[in-house]
Amino acid sequence: MFLFLQFLISLFLAIMYINAPREMNVPYLVQVLLADAMTFALLYICKVYSLRNFFRISAIFILVYGIVHFQAYLDFCLGNIPISHWFIWRDNSVVCKSAAISGLGLSAFAIGNYIILKKKKIPVLSKYDGSYLSSEVVSLLFYAVIFLVYLITTDKSYFIGGAGHGRVGPNGYVQNLLDGCVIICFCQSFWNNAHKNRRSIKKYFGGFNKVFLGLTSLYFILVLSSGDRSQMVAIILLFISGYIYTTGKNLSFIYILFLFVLIAPTLSLIGKIRGFERGETSVIAKISDYSLGKDDFGIEQYPSIMPSTSNYASIVRGLHLTVSYTDSNGYWYGRMTFNEATALVPFLNRLLGHIVHRDELESMVSAPFVTYLSQGTNVRYGEGTTCLVSLWLDGGILGVIVGMFLAGVFFGICDNIFENPNYFSPLVYIIVFTVIAGVVVIPRSSFGLLAKSIISTVLLFLIIKMIPAKNERLRIR
């Protein structure tokens, strides 16, 4: 029943995509949004997701995806955002088309997700066999050393509200390794002790290695002061998911919504004022601008149906810019994917650009590409991107449908592994926890960034486990 109804919704959205008007049209957008709402509703009516157990990787992804790709259109239909709001729309002729693209992406994800979650297909991998034994002490040593390198190589302006403006080590590779260390040490400490403490939150946290908690707390404070919301949310999600896995408790939709309403305004405020140390802008001036209804760059804010997530919702402008670009310049047919793949190796992307004499634009990955389209070489702030940008740029509507379908399959597999406590492979769980840590970020970044996080974390784990240790071992219940 779900697949049949979802196919009809997809067919309707495909027709809407083909007939998308080149002017912003409220009735058209309302029809697209209603089709998207039906997709969300079907996922719960057909019990793919449960309102009583909302903490699923797929459910959280779809929630954030909906905010990023649909909230601005809903605000426009409600009269909150004027048609003249250039900062979000950028090119009014592609807005309706972009809404249909987002709807087809959601529908493809839902179909792929349903196929895995309803069939409960778990990949056939070997059980834990002892071959992944690794010293927690060695991992913590790596964590401490990389954390020290991170402190030394990071522009100090980053730690005073400069996220997105200060340099985070050499092209961010140090921070990628640091994030990988957080996940690896979390998994090891969790499986050594923390998962045994099922009675209370206090005992759950008490089961973690104290050195790990100390380093992670310091890291959390630093990213909080920098305004880097991605790392903050990643750390929070790691500990919440570990607690859910340990206790077997379900977090209902109402509880998740309560946490969201509690945390979202804080994250939004951080996003608004985090750039106050840039140039001659002081923190007092930044807070003053915010109180007067302006954002970091003097751009007027707008009323929203969900003000706490309006900052996230405005990122859909990246999709508008990309669709407008392809209308004039055509698709890249895999070049963006190639750039994101070569970006996995430090400096390889830049080196290849010099060898084959590619221009700066052709060497960029998703987020810098969108920023370049908007601001050229005179960059004042990061525009942000969405998970559809690289899919659309490389393959058009077919790229979006296939890419989002595969994403739905992959996230469904991760959900099944996480929800099966009797199945365990340390390497597989490190991958799953890496996905959990990044699930909120992926809709407003790219799948290439997720792949980069997974590969760097896995490689780091494999390197660590090659170092012999006699005493401390990773023991699984």
pLDDT for position 51? 60
Query: Is residue 28 in a domain?
Result: yes
- pLDDT tens, residue order, the chain (477 aa): 888 999 999 999 999 999 999 999 999 999 999 999 999 999 888 777 766 666 788 988 998 899 999 999 999 999 888 888 888 888 899 999 999 999 999 999 999 999 988 776 555 444 444 444 456 788 888 999 999 988 888 877 777 766 655 445 445 678 888 999 999 988 887 776 655 655 677 777 877 888 899 999 999 988 877 767 778 888 888 888 888 777 766 666 666 666 666 666 566 555 555 544 444 444 445 555 555 555 554 455 677 888 778 878 888 999 999 999 998 888 888 888 888 777 766 666 566 655 554 555 656 778 888 888 877 777 666 677 899 999 999 999 999 999 999 999 999 988 888 877 555 677 888 899 999 998 988 998 889 888 888 988 998 888 888 776 554 444 433
Query: Is residue 10 in a domain?
Result: yes
Per the structure, the count of domains in the chain is 1
pLDDT for position 244? 78
pLDDT for position 474? 42
Query: Is residue 45 in a domain?
Result: yes
Query: Is residue 253 in a domain?
Result: no
What is each CA distance from 129 to 192, 194, 268, 339, 423, in whole angstroms?
A: 16, 21, 45, 37, 12
CA geometry: angle at 146 spanning 144 and 151, to 5°?
95
Query: Is residue 352 in a domain?
Result: no
Count CA atoms within 13 Å of residue 424 on its CB side: 15
Query: Is residue 65 in a domain?
Result: yes
Which residues form the domain of 54? Answer: 2-119
pLDDT for position 12? 96
Query: Is residue 397 in a domain?
Result: no
pLDDT for position 231? 82
* 3-state SS track over 358-427: CCCHHHCCHHHHHHHHHHCCCCCCCCCCCHHHHHHHHHHHHHHHHHHHHHHHHHHHHHHHHCCCCCCCHH
Rounded CA gap, 366 and 424, in Å? 34
Query: Is residue 60 in a domain?
Result: yes
